[in-house]
Amino acid sequence: MENMSVDGVRSAAIESGIRYANRLDLVLFELAETTKTAGVFTLNAFCAAPVTIARRHLAAASPRYLLINTGNANAGTGAQGERDAIACCEALARQCGVKLEQVLPFSTGVIGEPLPVTKIIDALPDAHRALADGQLASAARGIMTTDTRPKLVSRRVSIEGHPVTISGIAKGSGMIKPNMATMLSYVFTDANLSQPTLDRLLREQVAHSFNRITVDGDTSTNDCCLLSATGLSAAPLETETGQCHPDFVLALRDVFSELAVEIIKDAEGATKFVTVVVNGGQSSQECLQVGFTVAESPLVKTALFASDPNWGRILAAIGRAGLDNLDINAVEVWLGDTRIVAGGCRDVNYTEEAGQAEMDKDEITISISLARGESSERIFTADLSYDYVRINADYRS
């Protein structure tokens, strides 16, 4: 877990007793005054109160502080939930001497319970005093819920002799089909970027990382992803046409992609890391339609957990993905290096032993060729185990 400090970003993670004792559950980030921030949020219609407030504040001002609590989602809490989120922002704004709109609130945890505002506000002075450089690892632990490990990725590149640092954290292991980002993710860089470029980079990176993962097909009420650039690096990154230096873009892509992969590898109860590749589609959307249908099929996912090469389940998922005029005789399906389907049925050279050898692996690739176009997409997912059911059945206990 790489942990590189980003110039202009300080953080703190403390215990405030929101839901559990002796657990980091309140995280505070302080951003330099020069910072620009871009954000994307959940598409769930029942979005949480802090999502509503964060969207509003981000549109009004450049944030200086990010306040994140676990243990309580403050979702499904109506107008009182918004008042509670604002009360926490107001208390922090007074303490730090900034405008209310310069504080963004974020929450994750159980839906439908009132936010313990007093506990959070009482803990803010301790969180503020604890702010320091180099504490991203603690912040990554502080935003965890059912995660089994923190997720932190860093990269540093040199542009014309000037270093640029990128560090990001994320949380999420269940209720994951982000549909914009992931449950909570924060990426920081000292790059000097314009707001339009920052907005574009965030949308591009999210589209090919967090929006290409699924654990269970459920989109959270609290999803968010922020990209903050403090502007304190002297590296020249943008051209006059708004293009960004390719080395920086590649490093940024690595951070987003690795965080997304870490979420799947830490999926609730997961025993398999699964890549679904769909080639030969008429469009990107068509490939995603097939890929997500396969990746989210309970029958496919339970077969993966059992290491059972039950290829008929994959075939059935492709067939019900809703593609118009699909030529089933042209479709090919592979498990790793083993072709299992060709000509609309089991490949003539396929053996159960070869399929079993692929399914016995901890990391499995399912490749699907639709043979009807030039588009391709890749999705990351996990199997569905007994532990997934146990974790979510016991979530509120």
397 has a pLDDT exceeding 80: no
> Position 82: which residue type?
E
Long-range pairs for 79-84: beta carbons < 8 A, 24 or more residues apart: 80/114, 81/48, 81/49, 81/114, 81/115, 82/49, 82/52, 82/53, 84/49, 84/114, 84/115, 84/117
- To which residue do tokens 């001497």 refer? 97
183 has a pLDDT exceeding 80: no
Alpha-carbon distances of 104 from 52, 101, 170, rounded to whole Å: 10, 7, 17
Secondary structure of 276-335 in the HEC alphabet? EEEEEECCHHHHHHHHHHHHCCHHHHHHHHCCCCCHHHHHHHHHCCCCCCCCHHHCEEEE
Catalytic-labelled residue, pool 35, 37, 145, 182 = 182
pLDDT band per the 50, 70, 90 thresholds, residue 3: confident
pLDDT band per the 50, 70, 90 thresholds, residue 267: confident
- To which residue do tokens 């990269």 refer? 155
pLDDT confidence of residue 352: 95
Q: In whole angstroms, what is the distance from residue 322 CA to residue 301 CA? A: 20
* Contact yes or no for 9/29 (Cβ under 8 A): yes
pLDDT digits (tens, 9 = 90+) for 151-174: 999 999 999 999 999 999 999 887
- Look up the pTM and report it: 0.94
Q: In whole angstroms, what is the distance from residue 278 CA to residue 333 CA? A: 9
User: What residue ranges do the domains of the chain occupy?
Assistant: 9-265, 273-393
Element at 379 (helix H, strand E): strand 375-382
pLDDT confidence of residue 174: 79
> Position 269: which residue type?
G
Q: In whole angstroms, what is the distance from residue 61 CA to residue 42 CA? A: 20
Task: DSSP for 63-95, please give it.
Answer: -SEEEEE-SB---S-HHHHHHHHHHHHHHHHHH
Backbone angles phi, psi at 33, to 5 degrees: -60, -25
- Among 151, 63, 61, residue whose Cα is nearest residue 104: 63
* Contact yes or no for 305/271 (Cβ under 8 A): yes
241 is catalytic: no
Q: Out of 3.30.1360.120, 2.60.40.420, 3.60.70.12, 3.30.360.10, which CATH number does the structure's domain 9-265 have?
A: 3.60.70.12
Would you state the torsion angle of the CA atoms of residues 126, 129, 135, 140, taken in this order, to the nearest 10 degrees?
30
Q: In sequence order, which residues have a C-beta less than 8 Å from that of residue 174 and are 6 or more positions away?
A: 146, 215, 216, 218, 267, 268, 388, 391, 392
180 has a pLDDT exceeding 80: no
Mean pLDDT, the chain, rounded, equals 95
pLDDT digits (tens, 9 = 90+) for 186-202: 999 999 999 999 999 99
Backbone angles phi, psi at 139, to 5 degrees: -65, -40
Superfamily of domain 273-393 in CATH is ArgJ beta chain, C-terminal domain (3.10.20.340)
Would you state the torsion angle of the CA atoms of residues 388, 391, 393, 397, taken in this order, to the nearest 10 degrees?
180
Q: Is 174 exposed, middle or buried (0-12, 13-18, 19+ CB in 10 A)?
A: buried
Q: In whole angstroms, what is the distance from residue 83 CA to residue 98 CA? A: 19
**The domains spanning 9-265 and 273-393 adopt the same CATH topology:** no
Question: Residue range 17-32: average pLDDT?
Answer: 96
* Contact yes or no for 213/178 (Cβ under 8 A): yes
* Contact yes or no for 263/151 (Cβ under 8 A): yes
232 has a pLDDT exceeding 70: yes
* Contact yes or no for 356/265 (Cβ under 8 A): no
Which percentage of the chain shows pLDDT scores above 70?
Answer: 99
pLDDT confidence of residue 396: 73
Question: Residue range 284-297: average pLDDT?
Answer: 97
